[in-house]
């Protein structure tokens, strides 16, 4: 396959779905106790809803939506920290677009911008560095967030800032790591998972080897998956086939992108700039050991946490919001009491309704639409 439309072929999707159904019949599962596969990445969640992939699968398979959307797991207190920096008159605060609308305890960064504070959306940390060069009299702060997918670009930008002596540039680092997060879910007594769809973009950086503990220590299969419909369906087939064969392995469906040992150049930059935190706070999951990174001492001059005073408060979500239960797969988005009522993409109460990769936003836009299979096949 060379072209994207080849990965969206409805007839091939139906053929894979038929093979999945045939394999499932050989397993001791039922509609009452279906196989539960967690897609860790928010990009997978979006694709599953957008293309109606659950409708292709037998009722004995259920997708569980995981915490793989970095904007969605931002604690409310971190948003308040961002706003406290952004409201300083000497600061230009820069961030990715999704983070602009995440609610803090009183307002979002977008609302702070509307109040007249200098908050700017950027497409990469290099954009923020350029803004710092153009405004040497102002402090420019970049809000760094995301899993290992976005860490390399942030690390390379900090290295460039150090080489060029751009002293008015700093990073508010809230990058997070995938492996401790998956381990925390596996250690949770509330989670009953039969396998994982591994995140494709993160794996492009870290490779497939770091996931091997999942099959070795927890006896759960994982298949690293691409993001197109046929990628996801093939990955589900690979998971089911492992269960049928009595195997438990880490397999790589996304071989056209993901190398076994990852991207060594990217990993070297990450290791040079960042070190693991002792613990990091996640919305809906609490504190997870070694699940976040901070800036190393050698780049301390570019660390916004050392440069600016912040509230650093732990703030609970509104009582009625059930973001934590959704992000850990305990309930489905539509089971939240606020879903589609007071919480919508236009008026989000929880972060899961803000990001395009959030499970609630994806379900709101696509999950309530039934697509006839014949319509998909005839595309």
160-207 pLDDT tens trace: 999 999 999 999 999 999 999 999 989 988 788 999 999 999 999 999
230-241 pLDDT tens trace: 999 999 999 999
Q: Which residues pair with 119 in a beta bridge?
A: 93
pLDDT above 90 as % of the chain = 75
Distance of CA 124 to the CA centre of its chain: 17
Q: What pLDDT score was predicted for residue 368?
A: 61
Least confident of 51-55, 186-190, 340-344: 186-190
Q: Residue 67: is its pLDDT beyond 60?
A: yes
Cα 176 from Cα 147, distance rounded (Å) = 5
DSSP line for 284-347 = TTEEEET-BEEE-GGGGGGBHHHHS-------PPPTT--HHHHHTTSS-GGGSTTBTTTB-SSS
Q: What pLDDT score was predicted for residue 374?
A: 47
- Domain architecture of the chain: domains with CATH: 73-320 (3.40.50.11740)
Q: Residue 31: is its pLDDT beyond 90?
A: no
Q: What pLDDT score was predicted for residue 128?
A: 98
Per the prediction, the chain carries an average pLDDT of: 92
302-324 pLDDT tens trace: 999 999 999 988 888 777 888 87
Instruction: Please state the rounded mean pLDDT for residues 92-103.
Output: 94
Question: How sure is the predictor about 32, in pLDDT bands with cuts at 50, 70 and 90?
Answer: confident
The answer to whether 352 and 72 are in contact (CB under 8 A) is yes
Q: What pLDDT score was predicted for residue 325?
A: 84
3 state DSSP class of 61: strand
Q: Residue 376: is its pLDDT beyond 50?
A: no
pTM, rounded to two decimals: 0.90
Q: What pLDDT score was predicted for residue 234?
A: 98
């Amino acid at each position: 396959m060379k072209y994207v439309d080849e990965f969206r072929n409805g007839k091939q999707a139906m053929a894979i779905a038929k093979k999945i159904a045939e394999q499932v019949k050989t397993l001791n599962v039922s509609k009452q106790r279906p196989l539960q596969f967690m897609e860790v990445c928010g990009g997978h969640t979006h694709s599953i809803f957008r293309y109606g992939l659950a409708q292709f699968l037998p009722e004995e398979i259920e997708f569980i939506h995981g915490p793989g959307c970095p904007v969605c797991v931002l604690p409310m207190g971190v948003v308040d920290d961002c706003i406290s920096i952004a409201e300083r008159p000497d600061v230009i605060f820069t961030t990715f677009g999704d983070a602009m609308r995440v609610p803090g305890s009183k307002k979002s960064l977008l609302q702070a911008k509307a109040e007249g504070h200098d908050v700017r959306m950027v497409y990469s940390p290099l954009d923020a560095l350029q803004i710092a060069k153009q405004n040497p009299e102002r402090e420019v702060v970049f809000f760094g967030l995301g899993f290992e997918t976005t860490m390399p670009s942030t690390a390379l930008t900090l290295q460039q800032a150090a080489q060029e002596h751009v002293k008015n540039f700093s990073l508010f680092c809230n990058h997070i790591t995938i492996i401790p997060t998956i381990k925390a879910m596996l250690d949770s007594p509330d989670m009953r998972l039969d396998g994982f769809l591994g995140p494709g973009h993160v794996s492009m950086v870290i490779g497939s080897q770091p996931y091997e503990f999942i099959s070795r220590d927890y006896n759960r299969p994982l298949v690293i998956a691409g993001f197109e419909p046929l990628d996801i369906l093939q990955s589900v087939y690979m998971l089911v086939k492992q269960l049928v064969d009595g195997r438990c392995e880490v397999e790589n469906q996304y071989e056209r992108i993901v190398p076994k040992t990852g991207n060594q150049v990217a990993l070297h930059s990450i290791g040079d700039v960042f070190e693991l935190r002792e613990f990091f706070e996640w919305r809906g999951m609490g504190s997870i050991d070694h699940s976040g990174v901070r800036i190393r001492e050698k780049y301390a001059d570019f660390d916004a946490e050392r440069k600016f005073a912040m509230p650093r408060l732990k703030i609970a979500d509104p009582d009625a919001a059930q973001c934590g239960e959704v992000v850990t797969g305990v309930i489905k988005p539509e089971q939240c009491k606020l879903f589609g009522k007071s919480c919508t993409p236009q008026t989000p109460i929880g972060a899961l309704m803000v990001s395009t990769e959030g499970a609630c936003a994806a379900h709101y836009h696509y999950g309530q639409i039934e697509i006839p299979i014949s319509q998909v096949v005839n595309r």
